[in-house]
Chain A
Amino acid sequence: MSSPIKYALPLAAAIGAAAAVAAGADLGQAQKQATNWTAIAMFGIFVAFTLWITKWAAAKTKSAADFYTAGGGITGFQNGLAIAGDYMSAASFLGISAAVMASGFDGLIYSIGFLVGWPVVTFLLAERLRNLGKFTFADVAAFRFSQTPVRLFAASGTLVVVAFYLIAQMVGAGQLIKLLFGLDYMYAVVIVGVLMMVYVLFGGMTATTWVQIIKAIMLLGGATFMAFMVMMQFGFSPEAMFAKAVEIKTGLAAKGGKDAATAAKEGFSIMGPGGFVKDPISAISFGMALMFGTAGLPHILMRFFTVPNAKEARKSVLWATTWIGYFYILTFIIGFGAIVFVLTNPGFLDAKGGLLGGSNMAAVHLANAVGGNVFLGFISAVAFATILAVVAGLTLSGASAVSHDLYGTVIKKGKADSKDELRVSRITTIALGIVAVVLGIAFEKQNIAFMVSLAFAIAASANFPVLLMSVLWKGCTTKGAVIGGFLGLISSVVLTVVSPAVWEATLGNPKGSAWFPYTSPALFSMTIGFVGIWLFSILDGSKRGSEDKAGFLAQQVRSETGIGAAGASGH
């Protein structure tokens, strides 16, 4: 490991091999840094401000509708920012900019995958969700079906996705706090657990939404400043920036002992695709998980119920897509900026030529390079605040699945009063907070790289097919949706467990022993999910089955016109 290039290669290999950074949330093991008081103070200000907002939100959170959907009173623009805040994770900021710094173009392939699900959400689901649903995506999936089995499925789909996503975030928070604040892992897990409980418990969806909006503005603002400072150095010419980056990468390769021709080739390799895509099946399968997983993430789907009508739902997804796309362009510039300003500055490198604190520190060191110590503190605080906003949304979504779908509909048969439902969601929030902290500690030393990609694969193979088929296909029945949905859920989990990333890298089985050779199960498990729904629907000759089909027309009228849709509660 005599040069950053060499240091970068294992990372690039990891991206290709195990969809590791693909997990989006994997920050790996981090080394603890010196205590950074500026960052801690800035984070303290953020926390104080969001707690003040939570106090304000708590006064407005009286009914279950306020708790789940902020009374449906969020505007499209606000919701768009909140969705972006929910979706842009700390790992996509630090992980993607680090991947761009290491291998250039490959980082871009990866951000594109995270973006392309949004049009699908817009064209097929957003407004229909808003017209049919009230609090959770199960409201939509179970609209014309027998409530109990479909709700049981949807709650399972929600909780499994939330659990994997949450563990990844908690472990990410623990690694980040060591890097950014120089505090112990344990502090991070407890701080995140407690704060997310406070936001959700007292402020419900209103507080969660505002935490996400503030975080989105801070993250977009900080990243814009960094990208601007980088581009300014090159007179806003991308060509000049790329040329300088290639020159630096070439120089580093030459210093590492490569001959001139090899070094030039290695330097130029950041301008085109490298090891990211191993085999076409993995590439397509992984692309499907990202694209359709976005359309099946319960905490994202839930955000469509916070706006007053279908028009605002569409506006929110357009704003979200715009901000997220813009953000990924910024991370790309930041990654190239890191090549030029971080890899060339010995102050950011350790004795072996690697980044101080680990490879994910690219954006953090660049913040220091372009904005000094105070801006470094700001970016560190933003990166940590980002995790809080994501976990609050996840917790709220998990709590709603338990209180609204399981307690309200399955146990109380839809006759639970709003107060009781609210009480159950608060108890669930506390339970989820405790579980998240315990799991966060339990998984500290584990390789959790696969967890976010698993969450996306499950969302794409279970939640999305059931949602899409129930909304768009007349022939779909209760039996088909439930059996097909569970088949998609089980197959995506099983195929992930026997894939190289988990079977070999996490469970420690010998190399080559994994039964399933591809990085993502989505191509297969989505097919199993869809075929399962179709097959068990057409084989369903039951009385319930014919009622399900008969209910389609009324459901379609409501989904297309919004007649009878749940409106905003009076605020």
Chain B
Amino acid sequence: MDDTLVAKVTAHPKYQELKARRTRLGIWLTIAMLIVYYGFILLVAFNKPLLASRIGEGVMTLGMPLGLGVIVFTVVITAIYVQRANSEFDRLSDEVNKAVLK
């Protein structure tokens, strides 16, 4: 890729917007994932009785829905990113590509 093309892309306001939005979303979602996962692990490490406490009349414990919740959260948070990237980010990226490659 030659320097004029790089300069043209980086000067494009939509490129700056794309870069900023993608980085921000990526970082926030990564932090959210880290909090949820290590939060769960720290509960396992430091508060086993809480996870083993019953939440109803039967044998169901708090840990079960929480653990399954982490699995569902993992899939959902991935879907959120992919959804936004495949619509919003790709649109921005297409606009930049069209503007600089014409």
Contacts and interface: CB of A to CB of B under 8 A. Distances in A.
A538 to B, nearest CB: 22
B71 A329 contact: yes
Contacts of A272: 48-49, 51-53, 61, 63
A431 interface: no
A352 B26 CA distance: 53
A564 B44 CA distance: 47
A199 interface: no
Contacts, number: 166
Interface in B37-60: 37-38, 40-42, 44-46, 48-49, 51-53, 56, 58-60
Interface in B87-102: 90, 93, 96-97, 100-101
Contacts of B6: 553-554, 557
A318 B82 contact: yes
A109 B53 CA distance: 17
Contacts of A284: 38, 41-42, 45
The residue among A111, A116, A123, A238 with the most chain B CB atoms within 10 A of its own CB is A123
Interface of A is mostly: helix
Contacts of B90: 310-311
Interface string A342-367: 00000000000000000000000000
A558 B2 CA distance: 11
Contacts of B33: 116, 119-120, 123
Interface stretch (A149-157, A320-328, A380-388, A503-511): A320-328
B78 A277 contact: no
A561 B18 contact: yes
Contact of A564 (B1, B49, B74): B1
B58 A243 contact: yes
A127 B78 CA distance: 13
Contacts of B40: 109, 112
Contact of B82 (A122, A238, A239): A122
A303 interface: no
B46 A560 contact: no
Nearest to A329: B71
Interface in B10-24: 10, 15, 18-19, 22
A271 interface: yes
Contacts of A315: 82, 86
Nearest to B49: A272
Contact of B64 (A127, A242, A557): A242
A121 to B, nearest CB: 9
Contacts of B72: 325
A282 B15 CA distance: 42
Interface string A547-565: 0000001101110111110
Contact of A271 (B3, B61, B78): B61
Contacts of B41: 109, 277, 283-284, 287
Given A268-B59, A277-B44, 16 more contacts: A119-B77, A123-B25, A123-B30, A272-B49, A273-B44, A273-B48, A280-B42, A314-B85, A315-B82, A321-B74, A325-B75, A557-B1, A557-B10, A560-B19, A563-B1, A563-B9
Interface of A: 105, 108-109, 111-112, 115-116, 118-120, 122-124, 127, 238-239, 242-243, 246, 268-269, 271-273, 276-277, 279-280, 283-284, 287, 291, 310-311, 314-315, 317-318, 321-322, 325, 328-329, 332, 553-554, 556-558, 560-564
